[in-house]
Amino acid sequence: MDMQAIREAATAQGARPEALEDVERRAQQAFHTPPDPGVLDLWLTQLAEKAQHLFRREPTGQPWEQLGIPQAVWDHLSPAEKLSRGRQMQPQPQARPRRPERYTATPEQLRSIEGLSLAERMTAYRQWQADATPRQQQR
């Protein structure tokens, strides 16, 4: 397989110089015979979508364009306001559910579940635990 043609096509598609060896290895795995240029270009386009770290990213534009405000307004904002607006554009992380607080059953509660099966005892315990947990933690 002609690795020079793959290198040239990858470079033309925007592959990072330090990633060319990786692109060549992936091409060797994908093609057992030399691909024609159209197939190679299509494959490189798909590779750029799957393995974005191998390719250069284009600048996404000016910050005021991303925020949808005129440049004149952007220029008059304070640095703190610019940071605040930029943070609003960041994706918000998903809150991980918190583990429930440890709950200690009262002696009366323990006596009330003595004859129950394990599943029924666990259900009762979880209900007591949920009842004892403040509402703001139950999200």
Q: How far apart are CA 32 and CA 36, in angstroms?
A: 12
The verdict on residue 2 lying in a domain is: yes
Section 78-107 average pLDDT = 82
Reduced to 3 DSSP states, what percent helix, strand and coil does the chain have, rounded to the nearest 5? 60, 0, 35
Query: Residue 68: left (phi > 0), alpha (psi -120 to 50), or beta?
Result: left
Q: How far apart are CA 124 and CA 139, in angstroms?
A: 20
Considering only residues 101 and 83, tell me which one the structure prediction assigns the higher pLDDT: 83
Please tell me the predicted confidence (pLDDT) of residue 137: 47
Compute and round to an integer the Cα radius of gyration of the chain.
29
Exposure string over 48-72, b if 16+ CB within 10 A, otherwise e: beeeeebbeeeeeeeebeebeeeee
**Which of 28, 51, 75 is the C-terminal boundary of a domain?**
75
Considering only residues 115 and 95, tell me which one the structure prediction assigns the higher pLDDT: 115
Q: Do 14 and 55 meet the contact criterion of CB atoms below 8 Å apart?
A: yes
**Domain co-membership, 1 together with 67:** yes
**Domain co-membership, 118 together with 65:** no
Side chain identity at 59, as an amino acid letter? P
- pLDDT tens column, 59-90: 567 777 777 788 888 899 999 998 888 887 77
Nearest to 14 by CA among 42, 38, 39, 48: 48
The verdict on residue 56 lying in a domain is: yes
Q: Based on the structure, what is the number of domains in the chain?
A: 2
Token readout for 121 is: 């005892």
What range does the domain containing 39 cover?
1-75
Whole-prediction pTM: 0.43
The verdict on residue 139 lying in a domain is: no
